[in-house]
A and B are shown apart, each in its own frame.
Chain A
Amino acid sequence: MVCGLLGLLLAACSTVPTGAPRQDGAAAPPAGAPPAPDMRPVSATLLAQSRAQLRDGNSAQAAATLERAIRIDPGEPAVWLALARLRYTEGNWQQAEQLARKAKSLAARGSAVRSAAEQVIGDALLMQGQPRGG
């Protein structure tokens, strides 16, 4: 019976709208799966660029770069997370929280991005005077 259920799950993975091949806006693999696939080079480049812009004190430009990345690769949680962090540094707690939630919703279970997103959510909630655990 366990084998049957496992078989069902495997079959399910191939037809239900999750776990699709890596594409824009596409899935993280189903629960309990290996770590998320590597980031696309374009997203990694833009992320690095925005970090450099932030280091130079250019917050508006860094945000614009991250938005470019979101438009190109909206399924990549790391980009949403970076934007969430940026909003946090700007004091925009509400958007920091929401963008981090978005990042979390796209991130694979157990991944580093996911726990980082949860961290930002918690911090942002605190800054809004609300308890953690949102």
Chain B
Amino acid sequence: MSRSRKHDPLHVRLRAAARRHPWRALCVALLLLTAAWILYLNWLVTDRFEGRRWDLPARVYARPLELYAGLDLAPAALEQELRRLGYRPVAGRPVRPGSYHRDAFVIAVRTRQFRFWDELQAAQTIELRFDRQGIAALRDAHGERAVARLDPLLVGSIFPQHGEDRLVVTPAEVPPLLRAALKVVEDRRFDEHIGIDPLAIGRALLANVRAGAVQQGGSTLTQQLVKNYFLDNRQTLWRKLREAVMAMLLELHYDKDDLLNAYINEIYMGQDGNRAIHGFGLASQYYFSRPLDELELPQIALLVALVRGPGYYDPLRHPQRARARRALVLDLMTEAGIVPVADAARAAHSDLGIWDRQSAGASYYPAYLQLVREQLLTQYRQEDLTQTGLRVFTALDPLVQASAERRIAEGLKALDGERAHKLSGAAVVTSTQSGDVLAIVGDRRAGYEGFNRALNARRPIGSLIKPVVYLAALQSGYTLANHLQDAPLTVPLDNGDSWTPHNFSDETLGEVTLLQALVESLNLATVRLGLDVGVDEVATLLGRLGFREPVNAYPSLLLGAVEMSPLDVAGIYATFANGGFFTPQRAVRAVVDADGTPLERFPIEVSQVADAASVYQLNQALVEVLRRGTGRSAVLPDGLVAAGKTGTSDEFRDSWFAGFTGDRVAVVWVGYDDYRPTGLSGASGALRIWDDIVADTAAVPYSAPLPDGLELRRVDFHSGAAVASGCRNAVELALPAGSRLPRGACTGDWRGLGKRTLDWLHDVIN
């Protein structure tokens, strides 16, 4: 039974052999298991390494600041922008790229070389002279010059993976001193060992025992790399063994340079809220707002110091520890002879140099990035965005974004008051004429990565639809001076039911002008007008203005029974602001490949979708909304003429304001995610935030050239009759030339004004 014969099958013979020599069998089995385990680890670690090795995620840039004579920019504001870009102030003439010098009204900047999407701009010295209006003149080495661009702010990589963000740097972008310092401090024998370094382990043990504290680790850089791939805080013996084996396996497959580069791009360097900072490239931007290849000795030393414990040595929260460890790093570097003693001493005494993130707002813009990704994914595959080193130039304006974020956060907090439930809000700001999306705020928490209300909340727009109704009317021959009846009505519906709309205040004003009905957002008059023009007409116009979703052409559409995102609304109001030209709202301006070749461009395109004369008339009414209508409680700087519309949906579930100036279109929404009523109208809610954002970020008042076919008339706001200049309710209106105006006199009386004023006060207070 125990004797096997030559012709038995293998497993029978093996089993027999095992029974004869049990210990040997056990050894063999263990060896096989170990081999299998090693093979498994081999696969695990090389798969991870390879997966990251060629990863070159797209880099995303904000808009570059254009400098030119006549730009309304104060020297302090330019300095702020320069500091945000990591430019360092110097005494005397700036020589190194990334530095500047300021006298009272003159700033000299040595710009960085930068490859824009359309040209490579060499490093150059620009001198700017300021006066009270802003930039008065620019000069460079060749003399007077008209315009110069600063390099744009890098806002991060396109796809933070699982909350990890990194800016992959190529070997050329890594300062040699950094490589040397890493080896000196973390792994002296890096170039010689096979993945683990028993000497280092021993030495570290001794040193730590002597010091009574963990000063040195015995892990090699390779081991640390492995640990970072499989971030695991349970440093059990078993884990350490795994780590050691995987480190040795990595060393088998890959050369030292590759491993060091991977380490530089992988190592955990800090935490920014939800976002984990990985790699020296992003760490350099995060802590110093400067590119890695620009860092000097003190900064390099600080980053190397952080590797051991980014939380423990966090320069923001524990500056003394950071300083102390940086000093230690500098000592080690001096001892090793890679840095002169004098330099190290100077570095040890210098500031930590962490840039002030507060003044710039959050440097992470996930809400905006979401729009960037959406727009890119229409043209690129996901792999293109994560592997091929694309450079994406966006329209993000960090100043506008910072204002929008701050105003939403503060505004909602103020509106919350004593409420049991916290309100939600969103904001979108775009550039009027170019369609550039400047800022996206999707949540009251800046940097929030979850539900993005600016892009994805679809909410009833209520009275925001009214300008569309009125535009349809104007295009079909109505004028702002025509009369409407603001009187009760019941509308029969197709399904046999009927619909009885109401004014918000439940009062009816009788005979009013189109102008008044829009400015005061009268529901009944609007429904009558809309029915006369045709609900289908309104639905069609909505589509032409840029809203691409299907729309139900029911009468309730006339009062805004249609759901849109704040970005959708911005697109429509931008078309008004542009005099009837639709221009696509774009977050991405240009994309360039790793070599600098421009790829897809997202050109500025326009399309006239509504006639200029009608839109001009409409916009006059929208200006009046803010002067004397439902938006009159807005507080704006003198001279900043703005136009807009309040939006309040059924039962006060949505509070909107959408409006524009000459240079900005802004939309704010306030409400509850679960649709419960807020009790806020557009004026008492969203407008409070909107006017702050616009005051912060808009500089150009709304104005437009008078289109052909219109002439200016002075008419009474209530009656539409032509009146003399002394009439108290007179408005200068552009109306179609030769318009027959209604008969009537100046309504200087207080017809219904008392009650209406009380309603507005009620609105404003609540």
Q: Give A contacts to B, CB under 8 Å.
A: 7-9, 11-13, 15-20, 23-28, 30-31, 40-42, 44-46, 60-61, 63-65, 67-68, 70-72, 74-75, 83, 95, 98-99, 101-102, 105-109
A105 close to B703 (CB less than 8 A)? no
Among B231-239, B310-318, B502-510, B705-713, the stretch that binds chain A is B705-713
Q: Please, could you name 28 A-B residue pairs with CB atoms under 8 Å apart, sorted by A? A: A11-B725, A13-B712, A15-B732, A17-B619, A17-B702, A20-B703, A23-B700, A24-B662, A24-B700, A25-B663, A26-B662, A30-B706, A30-B712, A40-B70, A41-B70, A41-B146, A61-B119, A64-B598, A64-B601, A65-B118, A67-B589, A71-B436, A102-B581, A102-B608, A105-B612, A105-B707, A107-B705, A109-B708
List chain B positions with a Cβ less than 8 A from chain A: 66, 68-70, 117-119, 145-147, 431-434, 436, 579, 581, 589-590, 598, 601, 603-608, 612, 619-620, 623, 641, 662-663, 699-708, 712, 714, 725, 732-734
8 smallest beta-carbon distances between A and B, as pairs: A74-B433, A45-B146, A64-B118, A42-B68, A25-B662, A20-B703, A28-B705, A12-B712
Q: Which of B118, B589, B707, B714 contacts A61 (CB 8 A)?
A: B118
CA of A103 to CA of B706 in the docked complex: distance in angstroms? Answer: 14
Task: Report A105 CB to chain B, min CB distance, Å.
Answer: 6
- Decide if the interface of chain B is mainly helix, strand, loop or mixed: loop
Chain A interface SS verdict (over half): helix
Interface-centre pick from B69, B70, B434 (highest chain A CB count, 10 A): B70
Nearest CB in chain A to that of B701: its residue: A20
- Are the CB atoms of A25 and B700 closer together than 8 Å? yes
Contact check, B118 vs A18: say whether CB atoms are below 8 A apart.
no
Residues of A within 8 A of B725 (CB): 7-8, 11
- Which residues does chain A contribute within 8 Å of B147, judged by CB atoms? 42, 45-46, 68, 72
Chain B nearest Cβ from A53, distance in angstroms: 9
B601 touches A60 (CB 8 A): yes
Contacting residues, chain B, for A25 (C-beta < 8 A):
432-433, 662-663, 700, 703
Residues B66 and A72 in contact, CB atoms below 8 Å apart: yes
Which residue of A7, A70, A98 has the most chain B CB atoms within 10 A of its CB atom? A98
Residue numbers in A under 8 Å from B703 (CB-CB): 17-20, 25-27
Complex CA–CA separation, A40 to B72 (angstroms): 14
Distance between Cα atoms of A41 and B608 in the complex (Å): 29
CB distance from A25 to the nearest CB of B (A): 4
Given A12-B714, A12-B732, is A67 in contact with B146 using a C-beta cutoff of 8 Å? no
Known: A23-B662, A63-B603. A72 touches B612 (CB 8 A): no
Whether A98 and B118, one on each chain, are in contact in the complex, defined by CB atoms closer than 8 angstroms, is no
Identify B69's interface contact among A26, A41, A60, CB under 8 A: A41
Residues of A within 8 A of B145 (CB): 45
CA distance A22 to B421 in the complex (A): 48
Report the minimal beta-carbon distance from B588 to chain A, rounded to whole angstroms. Answer: 13
Which of B434, B598, B706, B712 contacts A74 (CB under 8 A)? B434
